[in-house]
Amino acid sequence: MRRSLRTVLAPAVTSLLLATTVVTGSAAPAAAETPDCPWVDSDAPVEQRVQQLLSRMTLDEKLDMVHGAAAPLQFVGPTYAGAISEIPRLCIPQLGLTDGPAGVGNGHTGVTQLPSPMALAASWDDDLATRYGATIGKESRGKGADVALAPTVDLLRDPRAGRSFETLGEDPHLTGELASAQVRGIQGEGVLAQAKHIAAYNQETLRNLPANDAKVDQRTLQEVYLSPVQDVVDAGVASVMCSYNRLNGVHACNNSYLLNQVLKGQFGFEGFVTSDWFATQASHAAANAGMDLQMPGGCHYGPRLRKGINSGAVTTATLDGMVSRILRPMFQFGLFERDGGGSPDDVVTNPDHAELARQVAQQGMTLLKNDDELLPLGEGTGSVAVIGDAAGKDVIGSGGGSPHVIAPRIVTPFEGIADRAEQAGADVAFDDGGNAAKVAADADVAVVAVSKWSTESKDNDDIALSDQDTKLIERTAESNPNTIVVLNTAGPVEMPWIDDVAGVLAAWYPGQEYGTALASVLFGDSEPGGRLPATFPVSQADMPTADHERFPGGSYDEGLGVGYRWYDREGIEPQFPFGFGLSYTTFAYSDVQVRGDGAAGTTVSAEVTNTGDRAGSEVAQLYVTHPESDREPPKRLEGFQRVALEPGESRRVEFELDDRSLAHWDTDGEQWVRSAGDYPVAVGGSSRDLPLESEVSVAETTPVSEPTPPPPPHAPEGDDPALTKAGNVLRCPAESLYSAVLGGISLFGLPPGKQAEETPDNPTADG
């Protein structure tokens, strides 16, 4: 979205701003011919180097370190999504920040279009997530950037959310584990990871405006929406991005409870907090609340913050702390010693990265229905009809907005199936939908590809496929009972046609290797490795957020009932449950064992056996039920392990509990507490298929965390005072206008960007 917004909006607002545009940067002292920078190439401890450098900085230089270098009319940039300018006098290098969570974005080319994070989440594989993160890190660094704006730790609260594909699903444990793995992968390549967003950012409608106010009780906030943030902090994430929404009336980027008390206090986060682009809505209050870096420009944290320092509204100690938090990871990651390398114009994709994209797409593809074991397609399949524009020109590899990545080329479903069918000696026909019934009737198997677009900047109205796609499926199924539907969607959709088709495969937004991965799964060269990271409801009305007061109204009064926890609590049967996914083989569970008293280090293990006749992977899942007094949902995911097994092979999987696995948030004490009592545990292949049961007994109630610390001195209760707010608007008109436009644009959205440098197309008449 950032490149799209700049392209669409900048010309429209230029004439409004020319008369009031101000220069927000401040001139640093002229660079010395030979800078004296003893903190470079130094063996001294990082903290000593930070303080040594900080003591030499002028006020101007400190202010330049806490805001972006974009000009007033730039929505992103310069060069990347954002950047902090270099300070040659002090040998401080530029810090470039680039999108995003599915690969290098911002309109850059020569990069790998990875499958969406939702597709990655369907793999339930932290090793794969580490490699996914490493690919983002390598390509970001190859483009010369220092910070990757990834991973996303927002939860899928409602599949209508425009950024649903950017999430890692509906469960905080799954999200936290996979996001932490991505952090390790990104930062293992010398690039700073920036997790986003804190917190409760789950919709686009009227974002960044007062009406977008998430009303969340403290327990739900801590157990659900902040839990993955704590996981990535524990994994060592260098930076965290604050979100567009308000939380209980206070904007997230000047919310001292979120940033000072929880993130920096309770979680012990030592990195820096960055605003989302134009999410800065205060100057003095944001600094005092714990936001360290304004993006992409610098008015609020330039002249407005200077005024706060001069008036005493913001202390110099606060500013020094902000600068120190940015410098610290720059030293830790060796950015001061790095000799450039990498350019935005460099081609950074390569065959290894494309192969990783293919593996993620394959392992994330989730088989939801397979009547009469129609799949995998075998030697008896003499002809295949591939139907729908979504198999050709309308293919979606990447969703829209800041996670959007432009592929060099996308392998379409038709191309992948046609290439693989040729090897099998099968004929392939294509129809865009106009003659679907006849083409399907003439084939042994019909594959119908359908899609639903989703993008940052606008929420969807529903989770239904278009009428055109629904009718296409129905016409094809009437003509051929062996119809397989491939869903090229951001997440869950309704399936009123489910009983009429033989197979359903969720492909998500699978990146540039879509067709190759799809064909591999359909023909059985690889298994459909995915398990659902999100519940598929029968009807939108069944969703926990179906009530307009909840989405997009902002009331989170479903509380802890997010995703499968809601369906379990309310006794609603989903179309397909969380954790579900079919395989081309079968698995059995046996011999569950529990060792420990519920404290960290307690283990639950079980035997998993491949009872089929071909190799396959199972995702074993552990769910915990709390004592009734804890008032938790019926069960919570607290462990998972992917295991690959040959036919007849067995292996023991083990889940190790941590301090939060059996704990709940005690609002009165503002801390995590593990209650005395018996905790039933269950192991199996999905949230609704748990054949093994045991229990963990906890002898006494025990706090397992320190309480959330109180507000620090000078912590704001909300926004800047009225006069300061008026000064912000008058002094920073461009930023104020862009901030409002972000909300207004959500009412109609933005046009999709291109999917690939080489435009996808339908096959010609001669193939």
- Cβ contact 322:286 at 8 Å: no
State the DSSP code for 486: E
Which residues, 6 or more positions from 739, have their beta carbon under 8 angstroms from its beta carbon?
Answer: 208, 278, 279, 280, 281
Alpha-carbon span 690 to 682, nearest angstrom: 6
Surface-to-core class of residue 42, CB atoms within 10 Å of its CB (0-12 exposed, 13-18 middle, 19+ buried): middle
Catalytic residue among 64, 154, 276, 469: 276
Alpha-carbon span 602 to 172, nearest angstrom: 20
Neighbours of 30 (CB within 10 A): 8
Output the six-digit token pair for 733: 């008109």
Alpha-carbon span 447 to 385, nearest angstrom: 6
Residue type, 706: E
Measuring CA to CA, which residue among 656, 537, 531 is closest to residue 599? 656
Alpha-carbon span 248 to 234, nearest angstrom: 26
Output the six-digit token pair for 305: 């913050």
Helix (H, G, I), strand (E, B) or coil at 250: strand
User: Which sign, positive or negative, has the C-alpha torsion 559, 564, 568, 571?
Assistant: positive
The torsion angles phi and psi of 742, rounded to 5 degrees, stand at: -55, -35
Alpha-carbon span 5 to 751, nearest angstrom: 10
41 labelled catalytic: no
What are the distances in angstroms from CA 434 to CA 427, 464, 474, 504?
20, 21, 13, 22
Measuring CA to CA, which residue among 445, 451, 500, 450 is closest to residue 475? 500
What are the distances in angstroms from CA 371 to CA 33, 449, 481, 487?
74, 18, 10, 17
- Cβ contact 279:252 at 8 Å: yes
Measuring CA to CA, which residue among 763, 681, 760, 764 is closest to residue 411? 760
What are the distances in angstroms from CA 79 to CA 104, 107, 262?
13, 10, 33
Rounded (5°) CA angle 16-18-21: 110
Alpha-carbon span 429 to 599, nearest angstrom: 59
Neighbours of 741 (CB within 10 A): 18
> What number of residues does the chain have?
767
Neighbours of 493 (CB within 10 A): 21
Q: Taking each helix axis from N to C terminus, what angle separates 722-731 and 303-311, rounded to the nearest 10 degrees?
A: 150
Alpha-carbon span 398 to 511, nearest angstrom: 6
Alpha-carbon span 514 to 506, nearest angstrom: 12
Output the six-digit token pair for 687: 């949230």
Output the six-digit token pair for 369: 């229905």
Helix (H, G, I), strand (E, B) or coil at 158: coil
Query: Could you give the residue numbers annotated as active site?
Result: 276
